[in-house]
Amino acid sequence: MADPNFPYKHRDLSWLTFNYRVLQEAKDTSVPLFERIKFLAIYSSNLDEFFRVRVAYHQSLMRIGKKTKKKLAFPPEEMLKKIHKMVNWQQEEYSDIFENQIIPELSNHKIFLRNNEDLNDKQRTFIEDYFQENLLPYAQPVLLEKHKIKLFLQNGSLYLAVHLFTKSRNAYRFAIVQVPSEHMPRFVELPSRGDAKDLIMLDDIVRHNINMLFPGYLVEATYSIKLTRDAELYIEDEYSGDLIEKIKKSIKKRNVGPATRFVYDRKMNKKLLGFLMEDFSLTKENLLPEGRYHNNSDFFKFPNFGIKELMNLPLPPLNKKSLEQYPSIFRCIKKNDHLVNFPYHSYKYVVQFFEEAADDPDVTHIKIIQYRVAKSSKIMEALMRAAKAGKQVTAFVEIKARFDEEANLAWAEKLMAAGVRVHYSFPGLKVHSKLALVSRSEGHRSTNYCYLSTGNFHEGTATLYSDMGLFTTDMRITDEVARVFTFLETVKKPKSDFKHLLIGQFNMRASLHQLINREIKYAKAGKKALIVLKLNSLQDRSMIRRLYDASNAGVKIKLIIRGICSVIPKVKNYSENIQIISIVDRFLEHARIYYFYNGGKEPIYLSSADWMTRNLSHRIEAAFPIYDKDIHKEIKDFLRIQLKDNVKARVIDGKKDSDYKKDNSDLAVRAQLETYYYLKRKSDSFIN
C-alpha cells in the first residue's frame, strides 16, 4: 500500500484537472470565438482517449482477484467513482459553455446553429432533400427486440436512440439509427437570409426525417448516444513470436473492445435507458449523461466562413537567420550549434536537413528514430530518395506508438520498399527518443551531424506543439548519439558509458538522482540551490520523493507542468519549497527542460522524457546537454518568460489545480506571445 502520509495526487485525477484547464480556454472571452470552439473539440477528443485508455485500465483492474486488489494504492472502484464525479460536473459546465456562451456569441456574429425545430419552410425543404440525396443510403434503422436482435455499436460512432409507438399507441418499441458523420460533414450550411449564416448539425437532419425511416410508427422522441470502447492493445511483451503480426491483429480488435463509456442525452427517459443498458450489457459505471450532442471533437471542423477576426492573429513562422548564412545547412551546423524553437521558428530547417542529406553526394549514412510522423511527410520522402540514391539509411520505427501503430507500420513498409533498413520495436520497451544522425565524408574523415529534439519528426504537429530541437556537430554529443543508434540496431549494450547524454535504460534515472542530490548538498551547505523543470507530466514516485527531499533540504524548486502532476506543493515537511504552474494556451506545451543551478554551473538538458515511470523505466529516452553559451542563455530566457506568465498560467496547488496565477505585476505576460516576439527580435537583430 502507498504511504498515507506521502503527498501524492493520482495521475488520472490530475489529468482530469488538466483537461479542465483546456475547457477553461473555451470559456475565456479573451480567446477568439472560433478558437474557443476548437478548445471544446480538444477537450472532447482528450476525454475520448482518456476513457478508451485510462478508464479501460481501471475497469480491467476491477476484474482481478480481491487479494491483488488489496495491494493497489488506489482501489479501482474508488477511482472510477472519483473519475465519473469529476467528468460529470465538467460535462455540465461544458454544456453550459456551449449553450449559454458559445451559441449566443455566434448569434452576435450572425452565425446561427439551428436545430430541426427552428427552421423556416425553405430550410425544412432543404434538409428533407439533403436527407434523401445524401443520407438515406447510410441510414440503417434497426428495431430493437430483447434477446433477439443484438446490435453492435461501433466505437465512437453517433447514433440516435428512438422511442416509438404503434399508430394505435397501444404498444411502444425502441430503435437505433446511425448518424453517418463518418461519411458526411457534421455541420451543414442552410439557405440563409442576407448576411446571416445558418448551420444545422447532421444529427438534427436525421432527427427531422426520422419518420421516413419508421413507416407505421409514431416517433415519440429521439436521443443521441455514443459508445466508447477499450483501445488498449493487450500484447504480451515477450521475446518470442512476431510482434508486428500481434500488433496488426490487436489493431483490428481495438474497435470491438469492451465498453468503457456510454454517453447519452441526459433527457432520455429511464425506460429506454434501462433497455439499452440491458441490451448492450452496460453497467452504471459505463454511463455518462451529456447534452443533446455528442462526438464534439467534430468541432474541429466547425466552419469559420473566412471571418479572420474570430480566429487567432497569425504568428508567421520565423526564419532562423543563423541557419541561412550559407547555402548549405551543414556548413551552418559545422560553424556552431543551432537551437530551433517550434512553432515559433519555421520547421523548414528540419526538412532541409534531411532533404540536403538525401541529395548531398558526400553524405554516406542517415539514421532516424520514427515515433509519430505526418501522413504526408517530406522527411520520409527524403529518406526514401536517399536510399534509392545508394546511401545507407536506417530508420528505427516504434510500432507501439499508441493510435499511430497502423500509420507507422504503413510507413515502415514504404521505407523498406525504397531500400531503407528498418528496425522495429523492442518487446516490453518503447523507443521514444527524438534523434537523427547524418554522416558526411569530409576529406579524410567523416563528420556526424545530429538533430536532437523534444518532439517528433512530424511536419503537422510542428505548427501546433511547442518543442525545441538542437543541430550540432559537437563530438561529445554526436558520438553518443551514434552509440544509441548502434544499440538500436544490434541490441547490444554499448561498450562505453554515456557521459553527456542521459539515456533511458542506461543512465537517465541515476543521473537525475545525482543532479538532485547535488542541489541538496549545496542547500545543506547554505549555498544557493535551485531546480527548474518544464515537463508534460510528473508522476514517478521515486523522482517525487527526491524532489520532496530536496525541498526539505532548502532547494528552491520551480515546476512548469502542462498535464499530469502528482506532486502536491506547500505541504509541511514535504514540499514547502515547491512552486508549480501549468500553461495552457494556443500551442500545446511539449518541450521538456531540466535546469539545475549546481553552484552556478547551471547544467541544462532538453529531453524527450517526462518524469513518468513509463518514461524513466520502460522507454529508451534521451536528454541532451546544452553546451553552447548563447543557446544556454536563450533557454534560460525562455524559462524566465514561462515563469512570469500571468495570463495563461494556472497554479497547481493539489486542490483545484486550475486557478489562474495572480501576481503584483502591472504588465500582462502571456508566455507564448512573449516567446514569439523575443525570438522575432533576435531574428531581426541578427548580424551576418
Residues marked active site are found at: 432
Pairing label, strands 578-583, 556-561: parallel
Residue at 300: amino acid letter: F
For the record, the C-alpha cell of 468 comes out as 525545441
Residues with Cβ < 8 Å from 271, sequence gap 6 or more?
A: none
Structure letter (DSSP) for residue 565: B
C-alpha to C-alpha distance for 471 and 450, rounded to whole angstroms: 6
Residue 505's nearest CA partner among 648, 623, 644 is 623
Give residues with Cβ within 8 angstroms of 313, minimum separation 6. none
Cβ(363)–Cβ(391) below 8 Å? yes
Element (H, E) at 603: none
Distances (CA, A) of 158 to 93, 177, 223, 225: 22, 9, 11, 6
Q: What value does the CA radius of gyration of the chain take, rounded to a whole number of Å?
A: 27
Instruction: Give the residue from 605, 432, 464 showing the smallest Cα distance to 535.
Output: 605
End-to-end CA distance of the chain: 61
Long-range contact set of residues 272-280: C-beta below 8 Å, sequence gap at least 24: 272/161, 272/163, 272/174, 272/223, 275/144, 275/146, 275/174, 276/161, 276/174, 276/225, 278/146, 279/144, 279/146, 279/150, 279/151, 280/151, 280/153, 280/227
- CA distances to 8, 67, 71, 588, 589 from 4, rounded to whole Å, are 9, 20, 14, 34, 32
Backbone CA torsion sign across 126, 129, 130, 135? positive
Report which of 472, 466, 483 is spatially closest to residue 449, judged by C-alpha positions.
472
Report the alpha-carbon distance of residue 279 to residue 337 in Å, rounded.
63
Q: Within 10 A of 294 (CB to CB), how many other CB atoms are there?
A: 24
- Residue 181, C-beta contacts closer than 8 angstroms, at least 6 positions apart: 157, 158, 202, 295, 298
